[in-house]
Amino acid sequence: EPEVTQTPSHQVTQMGQEVILRCVPISNHLYFYWYRQILGQKVEFLVSFYNNEISEKSEIFDDQFSVERPDGSNFTLKIRSTKLEDSAMYFCASSWRQGGMKDEQYFGPGTRLTVT
């Protein structure tokens, strides 16, 4: 069964450094998402992406964050200057291939980001 993959599984970085989290959505899916989960808290929506542009973003997704689909398979989340409070599990998700059902987002296994 096709699945969303994410790399790396764990990223440790120093405060102020830039990080790029990578995701490979399910092939032929058209919607892509990033969510985060701070330890012990609920999963929060960050951003959705469709047709090569952001379709919706939350208030968390400020100017320090950006997303990109650099090629036909990858979907990335960049944090320009990491803060301690960016430490969290980041989940990528994708949904909807053309002609299929729109009703389910498939989540990747997550990247645990630790900012020191």
Partner 1 sequence: AQSVTQLGSHVSVSEGALVLLRCNYSSSVPPYLFWYVQYPNQGLQLLLKYTSAATLVKGINDFEAEFKKSETSFHLTKPSAHMSDAAEYFCAVSGDGGYQKVTFGTGTKLQVIP
Which parts of this chain interact with partner 1 (CB under 8 A)?
Answer: 31, 33, 35, 41-45, 48, 56, 58, 91, 93, 95-96, 101-110
Distance CA 42, CA 107 (A): 15
Q: How far is the CB of 11 from partner 1 (least distance, A)?
A: 15
Q: Which is nearer to partner 1, 20 or 45 (CB)?
A: 45
Q: How far is the CB of 3 from partner 1 (least distance, A)?
A: 10
Task: State the greatest distance between any 2 C-alpha atoms of the chain, in Å, as a whole number.
Answer: 45
Distance CA 114, CA 90 (A): 11
Q: Which is nearer to partner 1, 17 or 27 (CB)?
A: 27
Q: How far is the CB of 48 from partner 1 (least distance, A)?
A: 6
Q: How far is the CB of 36 from partner 1 (least distance, A)?
A: 11
